[in-house]
Amino acid sequence: MTQSSDLRAEIDRIYREEYGRVVASLARRFGDLDIAEDAAAEALLTALERWPTDGIPPNPGGWLTTTAGNRAIDRLRRESLRDTKHQAAMMITHDTPHEPTGPVEDDRLRLVFTCCHPALAPEARVALTLRLLGGLTVEEIARAFLVAETTMAQRITRAKAKIKAAHIPYRVPERDDVTDRLGAVLAVIYLVFNEGYLSSAGDDPVRTELTAEAIRLGRILRQLLPEEGEVAGLLALMLLSEARRTARFAGGELVTLDEQDRSGWDRSLIAEGHALVRECLARVASGSAAPGAYQIMAAINAVHTDTHDHRDTDWSQIVALYDQLYAVSPTPIIALNRAVAVAELDGPDVALAIVDSLDLGGYHAWHAARADLLRRLGRSAEARAEYDAAIAATQNAAETAYLSRRRAHLVDPSI
């Protein structure tokens, strides 16, 4: 790779990491998502022109935000409706906020609450947050939602238009109203985390800027709502997943939980996650609230990360937790994950019967789980076909490498 391509890659990385902060800041100041996005894009073009000569500034995020703000003001001054918009631009140059900021002083969290307004459809909330906070392209979001790129572009455009038409403010709602939108906000933050943690975009198996951003937003939300068990549960879930990140890949290949080098896990994150889980358990034991899905998923991850050897895992406890989780959220994907745990407790034949009852034929993890169970039962030909189906259904290069290796190690019964 040449020096110029290295620099372009570094600029792209910085822009991707700072995109959410730049757009959120401009959205608050200017009250218009289109202006915010266009100005952020113009700031990138300016960076591509200047940084190769001038060098990357010490605070690239601040530079991008300032440059984008100047471009937005220039645009407002050029608008045909000069009177009101020119006055608005003058006010903005003196840092007059577009809206009261609400109870949290963080532009990106304010934008999450805007994107999760109940006036927007659930799928639009997630798509808009991934676009504006995560900086994903429309193509990447469309792939994550398994829809056409044109469909996703229309969905995002309609959502932004609705925010403008309904005059939805760019702020966190008042504390008494926060919980009304909390479920949607938690779902969006978790999906942002998963889009980074289970990334199928580009060559990187994990997009750390997305996982880090989701955790950062989770920490802020935890400060805002310290008594909300599901907030603590979601943060714990993300921390315990993030703790295993560096051990999940080796040599460009996915490493499953049973094969991971646990000495590479981040023990400080595990300790923090376990403390949050214990807090949730204490709240449940006191009878103040029943555990929600995020708290139960965090508890499952706490059991997985509580041992230094996969063989010491308490599978009976994990299956019991999955039973609780399925009662709260009876989805086929949760049933699939429960079946994987059942295989460790009751054997692959029992688990296979559960897997075969699930309508998940288009889901790569269903094929991968079925392939592994068939392999363990010695049904190599059937397992090989399932590995092929799993490989065809995933776009993650690291997962493809793992599945291909497992397929190659199957015993051929004809030999």
pLDDT at 97: 45
Query: In this structure, is the dihedral angle defined by the CA atoms of residues 240, 242, 248 and 250, taken in order, positive or negative?
Result: negative
Indicate whether 42 and 105 sit together in one domain.
no
Q: Are residues 104 and 216 in the same domain?
A: yes
pLDDT digits (tens, 9 = 90+) for 266-325: 999 999 999 999 999 999 888 877 899 999 999 999 999 999 999 999 999 999 999 999
- Residue pair 215/193 in contact (Cβ under 8 Å)? The answer is yes
Q: What pLDDT score was predicted for residue 375?
A: 96
- Are 150 and 59 members of one domain? no
33 with 115, same domain: the answer is no
Q: What is the pLDDT of residues 115-171, one digit of tens each?
A: 888 888 888 888 888 888 777 788 878 876 667 899 999 999 999 888 888 777 776
**Sign, CA torsion 183/364/196/238:** positive
Number of H helices, E strands in the chain: 20, 2
292 domain-assigned: no
Query: Which regions of 152-298 does DSSP assign to beta strands (E)?
Result: 249-250, 253-254
Across 365-376, average pLDDT: 96
- Domain presence at residue 190: yes
pLDDT at 139 (0 to 100) = 86
| Residue range 252-271: mean pLDDT, rounded | 94
Which of 62, 64, 68 minimizes the C-alpha distance to 30? 68
What is the per-residue pLDDT across 181-218, written as a single tens digit (0 to 9) for each? 788 889 888 988 887 887 654 455 677 778 888 898 89
Do 89 and 166 lie in a common domain? no
Rg (CA), the chain: 24
Q: Is the pLDDT of residue 406 over 90?
A: yes
Going by C-alpha positions, the residue among 294, 148, 161 that lies closest to residue 233 is 294
How buried is residue 99: exposed, middle or buried, by Cβ count under 10 Å (0-12/13-18/19+)?
middle
Query: Which of 161, 187, 221 is the last residue before a domain boundary?
Result: 221
In a domain, 148, yes or no: yes
Distance (Å, whole) CA 123 – CA 336: 23
Find the domain containing 56 and state its range.
1-98
Using alpha carbons, select from 315, 365, 317 the residue that is nearest to residue 344.
315
The pLDDT of residue 27 is: 86
204 with 174, same domain?
yes
114 and 82 in one domain?
A: no
* pLDDT score, position 339: 97
Lowest mean pLDDT among 130-139, 251-260, 272-281, 370-379: 130-139
In the block, which residue shows the tokens 């993650």? 396
pLDDT recorded at residue 87: 52
Residues 123 and 109 placed together within one structural domain of the fold? yes
194 contact partners, CB below 8 Å, separation of at least 6: none
Sequence-separated (6 or more) residues with CB below 8 Å from residue 74: none
Domain boundary among 40, 73, 98: 98
Residue 82 confidence class, pLDDT cut points 50, 70, 90: low
**Do 124 and 62 fall into the same domain?**
no
Q: How far apart are CA 220 and CA 223, in angstroms?
A: 5
User: Do residues 56 and 112 share a domain?
Assistant: no
- 13 lies in the same domain as 83: yes
The fraction of the chain above a pLDDT of 70, given in percent, is 87
pLDDT at 174 > cutoff 80 = no
Tokens of 275: 């403390």
Q: What three-state secondary structure class fits 128?
A: helix
Q: In terms of residues, how long is the chain? A: 415
108 and 217 assigned to the same domain = yes
Asked whether residue 121 is assigned to any structural domain, the reply reads yes
- Quick one: pLDDT at residue 185? 87
Domains contained in the chain, number: 2
The owner of tokens 């400080």 is 268
How far is 235 from 272, CA to CA, in rounded Å?
10
